[in-house]
Amino acid sequence: MSTVLDSIVAGVREDLAQRQDRVSLSDLERRVSDLPGALDAEALLRADGLSLIAEVKRASPSKGALAEIADPAALADIYAAAGATAISVLTEQRRFGGSLDDLDAVRAAVRVPVLRKDFMVTDYQIWEARAHGADIVLLIVASLTDAELVRMHTLAQDLGMTALVEVHDEGETQRAVDAGARVIGVNARNLKTLEIHPDTFSRLVPLIPPGIVTVAESGIRGADDAAMYAAQGAEAVLVGETLVRGDDPAAEVRAIIDAGSAARLGLSTGAAFGTPSPSADSTPSGAS
């Protein structure tokens, strides 16, 4: 039976084929050779406190249109000035309303690492991401074979990029670890049904060995949820909908970072946080 993820990936492959007709791999390789090196996002995500990957996101399959975002560069600049560690930019056009033009605009506007958020299914897209200035790429385990995951992860590293390897269940978590992932994002959203399962992070994080950066994704409504995930061991959170729908994204960025950082500092006290409700979304992170 075809799933939501299958449908999205099919569209991604169609759009990718059109771009490959216009721009060859050798053209991308030449562009990459002329660029300065990628920023070391992994090192920044390992910093003390809770890191925030703040997302420029117009729409999602589960919620439809979220925000117009006429000027993605201006929004990214607000995020960065407020303390976001990295900026995530959706480039999938059919379900998320994104584009490589958005990535170009954000890259030109900020000096923090930039994540190309898309459904990566070929090596070409990794080269494409770097050619457009991305420092981080998303690799969704659910949409890749083991061989593809290892090859694309290695390519990203060879290009100096950080790979955010996204998982949704126990099997995918083990596959990510086996592939050598150094940054693992746990997405609370089931990509096949788009349902949120708020306990996913707490269930999977014990399976991730020490030394691997852990990122909580999807369903993070604000500071309280960020603090809860930080107390459970998240070193970073990826937040989209909450930021683009809010009236004051800068204040929300600061609140999330402050609450999450306080919770990480308080891990040794044994303080507990509740479970977030499945209301907000922060995707792809696969496909919300």
Which residue ranges make up each domain of the chain? 40-265
Q: Using a pLDDT cut of 70, give the percent of the chain over it.
A: 92
Using the structure block, give the residue that is written with the tokens 């998303």.
Answer: 138
pLDDT score, position 61: 86
Q: Which residues contact 72 (CB under 8 A, 6 or more apart)?
A: 56, 89, 102, 105, 106
Q: Tell me whether residue 24 is one of the annotated catalytic residues.
A: no
CA dist., res. 277 & res. 283, Å (int): 16
Q: Which of 51, 187, 282, 285 is catalytic?
A: 187
Q: Which residues of the chain have pLDDT under 70?
A: 267-288
Q: Which of 42, 92, 128, 166 is catalytic?
A: 166
Alpha-carbon torsion angle 278, 280, 284, 285, nearest 10: -60
Q: Which of 51, 57, 88, 190 is catalytic?
A: 57
CB 65 within 8 A of CB 59: yes
Strand 183-187 relative to strand 162-167, pairing: parallel
pLDDT score, position 268: 44
Q: Which of 218, 261, 285, 288 is catalytic?
A: 218
Q: Tell me whether residue 172 is one of the annotated catalytic residues.
A: no
Domain 40-265 has CATH 3.20.20.70: yes
Is the sign of the CA dihedral 251, 51, 177, 148 positive or negative?
A: positive
pLDDT score, position 272: 47
SS3 258: helix
CA dist., res. 55 & res. 138, Å (int): 13
Q: Tell me whether residue 218 is one of the annotated catalytic residues.
A: yes
pLDDT score, position 191: 79
pLDDT score, position 62: 83
Q: Tell me whether residue 63 is one of the annotated catalytic residues.
A: no
Q: Give pLDDT tens digits for 75-86.
A: 999 999 999 999
Considering the chain, what is the average pLDDT of its residues? 92
Q: Which of 88, 92, 117, 190 is catalytic?
A: 117
CB 82 within 8 A of CB 254: yes
pTM of the model: 0.92
Q: Tell me whether residue 55 is one of the annotated catalytic residues.
A: yes
pLDDT score, position 146: 98
pLDDT score, position 194: 83
Q: Tell me whether residue 26 is one of the annotated catalytic residues.
A: no
Q: Which of 42, 55, 128, 252 is catalytic?
A: 55
Q: Strands, E, within 145-222: which ranges?
A: 162-167, 183-187, 213-217
Strand 59-60 relative to strand 64-65, pairing: antiparallel
pLDDT score, position 180: 98
CA dist., res. 15 & res. 119, Å (int): 11
Q: Tell me whether residue 187 is one of the annotated catalytic residues.
A: yes
Q: Give pLDDT tens digits for 130-143.
A: 999 999 999 999 99
Q: Which of 42, 128, 172, 217 is catalytic?
A: 217
pLDDT score, position 288: 41
User: DSSP of 112-165, one letter per residue?
Assistant: S-EEEES---SHHHHHHHHHTT-SEEEEEGGGS-HHHHHHHHHHHHHTTPEEEE
